[in-house]
Chain A
Amino acid sequence: MDYKDAIGKALTVADALAAAEPQIAIIASAVRGGYMAIKAARQFFADQSGEHDKEKLEAIIAVFDQRVARWDNAHF
């Protein structure tokens, strides 16, 4: 079981308990917050590896192609 499965199960249980007992909603919220933090940290460290450098540059090139075309076609 990876961390996503584990946290997914924890969230399911916490949500079920929260429905029965409102105070447990705080715990569910904390679990959800922890999940988001782990997800963000994993994305951050994956990003630091440089594995998406080429994709990032390709995205920049595509977006700026569109922006140049937007100025070309504009008349104010």
Chain B
Amino acid sequence: MVDWRHSVEALYRADAARLWRAVYAYAADPDIASESVAEAYAQALRRGSAVRDPAAWTWRAAFRIAAGAMKDRRAGDRQPVRPIEHVDSYADPDLLVALRALPEAQRAAVILFYYADLPVSAIAHRLGSNALAVRANLSRGRRRLHALLGDDDD
């Protein structure tokens, strides 16, 4: 019998750090990143073998949970946007600030493309979108990111 818990833990040890960083770049909030990653893996653990592709599923779930948390946060007390908490001073602060200026769909697309190194079709799969929309978001997000980073000479 397959030890599902062991498999999910192995996946967590191999992939959760990248997922956490990707969600952190997406949500700009370490609490949302931790919440989303923990919830995604907990649900994967609970669902067991019903999850066909745990690696893709946890990314998809974590991004959706993060999107829901960001929506709840916006609909809540309407506080001014929280300053970015740089978890590590060696990270690229300009990049994180620029990412926050992108619409969420563009932000998710560029993070999965440039950080997770996924092809467009896999990004579409993980975001529950289609390749045409991902390509459009990726193109717009890339141009916007270059402009925000002071590198719009393309």
* Same complex origin of A and B: no
